[in-house]
Amino acid sequence: MPPQIQSQPPSSLRLLQGDLAALSPALREFIESSAALCQPDALHICDGSEEENRCILALLEEQGMIRKLPKYENCWLARTDPRDVARVESKTVIVTTEERDAVPSARAGVSQLGRWMSPEEFEKARSLRFPGCMKGRTMYVIPYSMGPVGSPLSKTGVQLTDSAYVVASMRIMTRMGRAVLEALGGGDFVRCLHSVGCPLPLKRPLVNSWPCNPELTLVAHVPEQRRIESFGSGYGGNSLLGKKCFALRIASTIAREEGWLAEHMLILGITNPDGRKKYIAAAFPSACGKTNLAMLQPALPGWKVECVGDDIAWMKFDKEGNLRAINPENGFFGVAPGTSAKTNPNAMATICKNTIFTNVAETSDGGVYWEGMDQSLPEGITLTSWKNKLWTPEDGEPCAHPNSRFCTPASQCPIIDPQWESPEGVPIEAVIFGGRRPQGVPLVYEAFDWEHGVFVGAAMRSEATAAAEHKGKAIMHDPFAMRPFFGYNFGRYLAHWLSMAQRPQARLPRVFHVNWFRRCERDGSFLWPGFGENVRVLEWIFRRVDGQAEGRRSAVGYLPAEGELNLKGLGPGLDLQQLFGLSQEFWEDEARSIREYFQTQVGADLPCEMERQLEQLEQRIQQL
Q: Which is nearer to Mn ion, 91 or 264 (CB)?
A: 264
251-258 and 490-499 are packed helices; what angle lies between their axes, rounded to 10 degrees? 40
With contacts defined by CB under 5 A, name the span among 117-125, 309-317, 327-335, 513-521 that binds Mn ion. Answer: 309-317
Active site residue 38: no
Cβ 299 to ligand TSX shortest distance, Å = 10
Q: How far is the CB of 261 from Mn ion (least distance, A)?
A: 16
DSSP state of 232: S
Catalytic residue among 133, 192, 288, 399: 288
| Residue 603 interacting entry, from Mn ion, ligand TSX, none, C-beta within 5 to 8 Å by type | none
Alpha-helical segments (H) within 298-421: 345-350
Name the residue nearer to ligand TSX (CB basis): 290 or 483.
290
> How far is residue 414's CA from residue 295's CA, in Å, rounded to a whole number?
9
**Chain position whose Cβ is nearest to ligand TSX:** 289
* DSSP line for 20-69: GGGS-HHHHHHHHHHHHHH--SEEEE----HHHHHHHHHHHHHTTSEEE-
Ramachandran sector of residue 426 (left: φ over 0; alpha: ψ -120 to 50; beta: rest): beta
**Residue 530 interaction partner, one of ligand TSX, Mn ion, none, beta carbon < 5-8 Å per kind:** ligand TSX
520 binds ligand TSX (CB under 6 A): no
Query: What does DSSP assign to residue 600?
Result: I
By CB under 6 A, tell whether 151 contacts ligand TSX: no
How near is the Cβ of 530 to ligand TSX at its closest, in Å? 3
- Decide whether 184 or 250 has the Cβ nearer to Mn ion: 250
| 148 vs 338, beta carbon nearer ligand TSX | 338
Q: Are 306 and 266 in contact (CB under 8 A)?
A: no
**CB-wise, 171 or 290, nearer to Mn ion?**
290
Query: β-strands 261-263, 218-222: how paired?
Result: unpaired
Coil, helix or strand at residue 219: strand
Query: What residue 311 binds from Mn ion, ligand TSX, none (CB within 5 to 8 A, per partner kind)?
Result: Mn ion
Site stretch for ligand TSX (CB under 6 A), options 7-15, 194-202, 292-300, 319-327? 292-300
Site string for ligand TSX, 442-481 (x = CB under 6 A): ----------------------------------------
**Site mask for ligand TSX (CB under 6 A), range 480-519, x = bound:** ------------------------------------xx--
311 binds Mn ion, rule: CB under 5 A: yes
State the residue number with the nearest CB to Mn ion. Answer: 311
Shortest distance (Å) from residue 493 CB to ligand TSX: 26
Indicate the residue among 333 and 516 with the shorter CB distance to ligand TSX.
516
User: Is 398 among the residues that bind ligand TSX (CB under 6 A)?
Assistant: no
Q: Is 530 in the site for ligand TSX (CB under 6 A)?
A: yes
83 three-state secondary structure: coil
Choose among ligand TSX, Mn ion, none what residue 296 binds, the Cβ cut-off being 5 to 8 Å by kind. ligand TSX
d(CA 364, CA 377): 10
Measured distance CA(210)–CA(208) in Å, rounded: 5
Q: Is 526 in the site for ligand TSX (CB under 6 A)?
A: yes
What is the rounded distance in angstroms from the CA atom of residue 226 to the CA atom of residue 153? 17
> Residues 280, 417: contact at Cβ < 8 Å?
no
d(CA 513, CA 327): 22
Query: What is the distance between the alpha carbons of residues 562 and 411, in angstroms, rounded to a whole number?
Result: 41
* Cα–Cα nearest to 79, from 287, 347, 362: 362
Contacts of 488 (CB under 8 A, 6+ apart): 94, 96, 101, 102, 223, 252, 253, 256
Beta-sheet pairing, 426-434 with 510-514: parallel
The verdict on 622 binding ligand TSX (CB under 6 A) reads: no
Closer of 77 and 266 to ligand TSX (Cβ)? 266
Of 98-106, 139-147, 310-318, 490-498, the window that binds Mn ion (rule: CB under 5 A) is 310-318
Dist CA 248 CA 235 (whole Å): 17
Does residue 32 interact with Mn ion by CB under 5 A?
Answer: no
What pairs with residue 229 in β-bridges?
Answer: 193, 220
CB of 181 to ligand TSX, least distance (A): 38
Q: Enter the DSSP assignment of 250.
A: I
CB of 490 to Mn ion, least distance (A): 17
- Which residue, 338 or 607, is less far from ligand TSX as judged by CB? 338
Beta strand extents in 179-310 (DSSP E only) = 190-195, 218-222, 227-231, 261-263, 266-271, 277-283, 304-309
Q: Between residue 532 and residue 571, which ones bind ligand TSX under the rule CB under 6 A?
A: 534
Residues in the site for Mn ion, rule: CB under 5 A? 311
Known catalytic residues are 288
Residues in the site for ligand TSX, rule: CB under 6 A? 287, 289, 292-293, 296, 338, 343, 516-517, 526, 529-531, 534
